[in-house]
Amino acid sequence: MTRTFNPESYGKLLVEYQPKIITTEEENEQAITLALTLEHRPNRTPEEEMLLELLVTLIEKFEETHYPIPQGTPHSMLMHLMDARDITTEALAEVIGSLEVALLIVNGDSPSETLDERTISKTQAEALADYFHVDASLFT
């Protein structure tokens, strides 16, 4: 069964949550909290999907302005994003799937003597990109 978009239902969501241009950290955190709630809701309606997409757009616009990403190495990109969003290594471990690997990446340690710093795998880069809402190429 294909669910169809209901403008009236979407209008009610807009009235309830009143999304708007984000101008403060507090508003950004509130938008992120709502977006995460919607993102983890099973069986989202088409209207909730559209609200989630709107929130993500508003969050990205705010963060692009307030957290510009400087050019650098994958490691420095990760460290910048973690610092800007106050993310711990333990929280990062949940994204990566392993505290040991997260520690190696964050500390720049390498299990191989031939590498200058721990490289981030393609799979890890994609997970990080999804988590931070950025392009995976930042981590490769």
Q: Are 93 and 60 in contact (CB under 8 A)?
A: no
What percent of the chain lies above the pLDDT cut of 70? 89
CB 104 within 8 A of CB 118: yes
pLDDT at residue 105 in the model: 87
* pLDDT tens per residue across span 78-99: 998 999 889 999 999 999 988 9
42-69 confidence digits (pLDDT tens): 999 999 999 999 999 999 999 999 987 6
Classify the phi-psi angles of 133: left when phi > 0, otherwise alpha if psi is within -120 to 50, otherwise beta. Answer: left
Mean pLDDT of 22-33: 95
Question: CA 77 to CA 136: how far, in whole Å?
Answer: 11
CA distances to 3, 93, 101, 114 from 119, rounded to whole Å, are 43, 15, 10, 11
In angstroms, the CA 130 to CA 135 distance is 8
7-17 vs 46-66: helix crossing angle, rounded to 10: 40
When pLDDT is cut at 50, 70 and 90, the band that residue 110 belongs to is low
CA distance 18 to 95: 30
N-terminal to C-terminal alpha carbon distance within the chain: 40
